[in-house]
Every structure is written in structure tokens, then in C-alpha cells.
Amino acid sequence: MQLALNACQCAAEPPFTTLDAQYHPPHAHRSLVRHDPRKLPQGQISMGQIRELVAARAFPLCMTTMYQRLTSEHHLKHYGRMQFNLFLKAIGLPLEQALLFFRQQFAPR
């Protein structure tokens, strides 16, 4: 009886009211402005910091593994590239530097 009561209470409140706010920060609607790569805004990283972050164990284990495979074999499968690219975007790597990073990593093959 208690379980049915809890299910009814949960159904009364929409379960995903805060989900949109978590994945769409307030600044997401702003237009993109080109930044000087030498002056990165606070909260962004540069391409040169990726190796340091991996060495400092700041990356999750799955992303560390992808980074190690990328640097050793110079190849990631399609979904691996997508996930690694989205992770780099989430931690603040600008698009221009992400393109340079992937260009450098895939070129030595």
C-alpha cells in the first residue's frame, strides 16, 4: 500500500523539471565570439593542458584510456571520437583548439 502511495506522489510532480537547467546553462544561448587563443577565458583549457590533465589523473578513467589509445595508435573508432570530442568540449576546450588537437593526433599515422 505504501509503494502505491509513493508512486502516486511521484506522478504528481514532473520528474524532469531540473533536467533542462542541468544540460543547458544560462550562457548557452549567447552567440559564439571568437577568442584570442593566447587569452583563454576563465573556465577553458588549452590544447597543451590536455597531456598535463591526463598525467594529473584529472580525466575519468574511460577518457584517459581513450586519450592513451589515441596517442599510441593515432586512431579512435567513430563513437570513441564523438565521446572524446564531447568530453573535451565539456571541460572547456575551444573548437579551434579541438580541431588542431585532432589534426595533430590523427596525422602521424
Residue pLDDT, tens place only, 59-109: 899 999 999 999 999 999 999 999 999 999 999 999 999 999 999 998 876
Q: Where are the domains of the chain?
A: 44-109
The SS3 of residue 10 is: helix
Strands (E), 58-104: none
Provide the grid cell at 50. 590536455
Buried/exposed code over 67-100 (b: 16+ C-beta within 10 A; e: otherwise): beebeeeeebeeeeeeebbebbeebebbeebbee
Which cell is 59 given? 580525466
Q: Structure pTM?
A: 0.59
